[in-house]
Chains A and B, each alone.
Chain A
Amino acid sequence: MKLAHSIAMTALLGALSLAGSALAAPTGAVLFAQNCSACHQAAGQGVPGAYPALAGNTFVRGDPKTVASVVLHGRGGMPSFSDDLSNADIAAVLTYVRSSWGNHASAVDPAVVAAARGHSGGAHSGSSVLPGH
């Protein structure tokens, strides 16, 4: 687990250093390490009683639009990623999750994410001045 984590982070840092380049489209694996691994863990194994495992998860392997909807809008302790990730990013990370750690489900098309979003939105970030408490 520790090794997998450090490999993922190496990939992450590599992607960050390329962030200025228009050629660098982050892969599903990099997006997963950045956005999801803090809770679902580097190999999708989750933490029992805290965060669901994505490996072997029937929901994750199910209807792509429903899964995309959870990533877009959040659920329970999971945040909404609709402002942070483009449809292509969400499609890439879901395709990665659905085909890793023993999962064998179909790839997710950005058009499906767009349909789940309700409109064809891209990534944007509002400026958040002093949120919180």
Chain B
Amino acid sequence: MSVNSGGANFSRRDFLERLHAVGGTALLMAGMSALGFGIEAQAATPPDLSGGNGKKVVVLGTGMAGLASAYELSNAGYDVTVLEARDRVGGRSYTARRGTVLTELGGERQVSDLDEGYYFNPGPWRIPYFHHAYLHYARKFKVPVELFNNDNDHSYIDFEKGSGPLGGRPVRKAEIAADTRGYAAEMLAKQVRQGALDAQFQPGDKELFLDYLRSEGYLTADDFRYIGTEGRGPAVYPGAGLEAGKPSTPYALSDILHSQTWRVLKSVSDLDMQRTMFQPTGGMDQLPAGFVRNLKPTIRLQHVVEKIAQSPDKIDVSYVDASGQRGTVSADYCVCTIPLSVLRNIDLQVSPTFKEAIGGVSYALVGKIGLQMKTRFWEENHQIYGGHVYVDDPMIGTISLPSTGWLGEKGVILGYYPHGSAAARVSAMSLAERKAFAVAAGQKIFPEYAANTESAFSIAWHRVPFNMGGWAEWSEEGRAKYYPTLLEPDGRLYLAGEHLSYLTGWQEGALESAWQQIAKLHKRAVAA
């Protein structure tokens, strides 16, 4: 059976082989899923690197890409040296706990005073179901994951730019969703029943389409009216004895439209923003810790790369360590996972084309703040269990409620998540000002917010040494002009990281890029 009925000689197998050649195992698996082979995520595996022959590889950086490269290459018999600039592993896969220290460039020294047992993920925080490589390692290293609630109908929308009675105040998302979609279904049903759309239907379609509209919008059975529905939240909840509950009244359509709150509604979530996602139990640093538990080579912490030089038969990486001692590691190959925003300031012996390509990408400005709350008032008083509060102030971005520690004593809220120029403005504030800014925004949603706020931990990734940005942001021009150059080695230097994927800003991009690059390196090493 052929995939493309027009191409008789192009079999499903040919297609899969080509997919594998282009995108490695992960793309192969995605292709097999798409073709109905029923291959599940657990089948996605790292490349086969058998026969490594003890060649020397130096891996730079211990984020996801560096750890995966070091782990796979050393298991395959390569002699691997790992250099890490910081005094910790994980890169952006990072968790702030009590005592975590962070000093941004040009910023104050910040020491986290979160309570013992509480944490905040300042970087990545949620994992989509199709991130096979991440889930592969979580499974392999027995890092437990839990569900991350990425959308909650019982949470609030507060759109300050909206007008009318529903603008500028917290409204439950379920009310907006039920009413907007109910009215839309009602209006469409009316048109269909009047015959306005008869030309659109095949025989038998019309009745089925009306059934769909009745179901979609909770319309009345006989005359297709929207009069509200239980799921938007009743006026009085049903209870014991004589309490049967009391239905609520829908908002006026015009009020909803002018409030702008309908902007949060979509037929389905984006591919990488499913309503339920995963998070590693206990913090994002748990997967890096899993790698370290299982890694053969020792990681040399606080080794800052100053120079990468190449000769026909080796590559030399010069570093300075925490005590100021300089040294050089010579190897057959180098896998460099240093972000391009940092790499462009390092002395590199590469071709002018390669050097230019490294400078051909922008890095995202992005900020986050964690706020430790002394009670879980959003659960106790508002019955909101995880998910996000939807706001329209770009300097706040989103306020998110923790998907862990349910019904417990305290919790850490994500107080803001701005991007771009909004993140630049937030990051210009002192630590105390950032906290005050975030608390003032949350207070508009929850009257308990300010009184419950204890400690804060904030980050502006564009000011973090050794990161200099949240993630790579390729323009269309950059993808065409520079990106392909960086996918190929320059001499003995291979780059890997989220920046060399179409999953930029995701740990999965880093892992799949590492798999792709070490497969290339291995192919060359066994041929040499």
Contact B273 A130 (CB under 8 A): yes
Q: A85 to B422: give the CA distance in the assembly, Å.
A: 11
Contact A35 B428 (CB under 8 A): yes
Chain A residue at minimal CB-CB distance from B420:
A79
Residues on B with C-beta less than 8 A from A13 are: 433
Residues on B with C-beta less than 8 A from A128 are: 392, 394, 397, 419
Any chain B CB within 8 A of the CB of A20? no
- Once A37-B428, A77-B462, A127-B159 are accepted as A-B contacts, the answer to whether A133 and B506 lie under 8 Å apart by CB is yes
> Can you give 6 A-B contacts (C-beta < 8 A)?
A34-B425, A38-B463, A79-B421, A84-B425, A127-B159, A132-B419
- Once A47-B105, A50-B105, A77-B468 are accepted as A-B contacts, the answer to whether A127 and B161 lie under 8 Å apart by CB is yes
Residues on A with C-beta less than 8 A from B424 are: 35-36, 38-39, 79
Any chain B CB within 8 A of the CB of A74? yes
Chain B window 454-466, contacts with chain A (Cβ cutoff 8 Å), 1 for yes, 0 for no? 0000001011010
Q: A51 to B417: give the CA distance in the assembly, Å.
A: 22
Chain B window 374-389, contacts with chain A (Cβ cutoff 8 Å), 1 for yes, 0 for no? 0000000000000010
Q: Which of B194-202, B216-224, B361-369 contacts A (4 or more CB under 8 A)?
A: B361-369
Q: A133 to B419: give the CA distance in the assembly, Å.
A: 11
A129: contacting residue among B390, B421, B427, B460, CB under 8 A: B390
Q: A46 to B428: give the CA distance in the assembly, Å.
A: 13
- Once A47-B105, A51-B105 are accepted as A-B contacts, the answer to whether A133 and B394 lie under 8 Å apart by CB is no
- Once A37-B428, A127-B161 are accepted as A-B contacts, the answer to whether A84 and B422 lie under 8 Å apart by CB is yes
Any chain A CB within 8 A of the CB of B124? yes
Contact A76 B345 (CB under 8 A): no
Residues on B with C-beta less than 8 A from A51 are: 105
Chain A residue at minimal CB-CB distance from B160:
A127
Chain B window 498-528, contacts with chain A (Cβ cutoff 8 Å), 1 for yes, 0 for no? 0000000110000000000000000000000
Would you call the interface of chain A mostly helix, strand, loop, or mixed?
loop
- Once A9-B429, A9-B430, A51-B105 are accepted as A-B contacts, the answer to whether A132 and B390 lie under 8 Å apart by CB is no
| Distance (whole angstroms) from the CB of A118 to the closest CB of chain B | 17
| Distance (whole angstroms) from the CB of A13 to the closest CB of chain B | 8
Residues on B with C-beta less than 8 A from A39 are: 106, 424, 427, 462-463
Chain A window 78-117, contacts with chain B (Cβ cutoff 8 Å), 1 for yes, 0 for no? 1111011100000000000000000000000000000000
Chain B residue at minimal CB-CB distance from A127:
B392
Q: How many chain B residues touch the partner (CB < 8 A)?
A: 47
Contact B390 A38 (CB under 8 A): no
Chain B residue at minimal CB-CB distance from A6:
B430
Contact B505 A133 (CB under 8 A): yes
Any chain A CB within 8 A of the CB of B488? no
| Distance (whole angstroms) from the CB of A108 to the closest CB of chain B | 18
Q: A128 to B359: give the CA distance in the assembly, Å.
A: 28
B423: contacting residue among A75, A76, A79, A133, CB under 8 A: A79
Q: A118 to B169: give the CA distance in the assembly, Å.
A: 37
Contact B362 A77 (CB under 8 A): yes
Known: A34-B428, A36-B428. 13 other contacts (CB 8 A): A6-B430, A9-B430, A9-B433, A35-B425, A38-B463, A74-B362, A77-B469, A78-B362, A79-B423, A80-B421, A81-B421, A127-B161, A131-B397
Residues on B with C-beta less than 8 A from A21 are: none
Any chain B CB within 8 A of the CB of A125? yes
Chain A window 24-53, contacts with chain B (Cβ cutoff 8 Å), 1 for yes, 0 for no? 000000000111111101000001011100
How many residue pairs link A and B with beta carbons under 8 A? The number is 101
Chain B residue at minimal CB-CB distance from A85:
B421
Q: A129 to B398: give the CA distance in the assembly, Å.
A: 8
B420: contacting residue among A9, A33, A34, A80, CB under 8 A: A80
| Distance (whole angstroms) from the CB of A94 to the closest CB of chain B | 15
Q: A85 to B263: give the CA distance in the assembly, Å.
A: 24
Contact B388 A130 (CB under 8 A): yes
Contact A50 B345 (CB under 8 A): yes
Q: A37 to B159: give the CA distance in the assembly, Å.
A: 29
B394: contacting residue among A36, A78, A125, CB under 8 A: A125
B residues 153-185 touching A (CB-CB < 8 Å): 159, 161
Contact B359 A127 (CB under 8 A): no
Contact A132 B429 (CB under 8 A): no
B106: contacting residue among A12, A38, A133, CB under 8 A: A38
Contact A131 B260 (CB under 8 A): no
Residues on B with C-beta less than 8 A from A78 are: 362
Chain B residue at minimal CB-CB distance from A46:
B106
Residues on B with C-beta less than 8 A from A12 are: 428
Contact A38 B397 (CB under 8 A): no
Chain B residue at minimal CB-CB distance from A49:
B345
Chain B window 109-142, contacts with chain A (Cβ cutoff 8 Å), 1 for yes, 0 for no? 0000000000000001010000000000000000
| Distance (whole angstroms) from the CB of A43 to the closest CB of chain B | 11
Any chain A CB within 8 A of the CB of B235? no
Residues on A with C-beta less than 8 A from B505 are: 132-133
| Distance (whole angstroms) from the CB of B212 to the closest CB of chain A | 26
Q: A4 to B463: give the CA distance in the assembly, Å.
A: 19
Any chain A CB within 8 A of the CB of B451? no
Any chain A CB within 8 A of the CB of B322? no
Q: A13 to B463: give the CA distance in the assembly, Å.
A: 22
Q: A59 to B106: give the CA distance in the assembly, Å.
A: 23
Chain A residue at minimal CB-CB distance from B367:
A38
Contact A50 B468 (CB under 8 A): yes
Any chain A CB within 8 A of the CB of B264? yes
Any chain A CB within 8 A of the CB of B279? no
Chain B residue at minimal CB-CB distance from A74:
B362
Any chain A CB within 8 A of the CB of B471? yes
Q: A39 to B428: give the CA distance in the assembly, Å.
A: 8
| Distance (whole angstroms) from the CB of A14 to the closest CB of chain B | 13
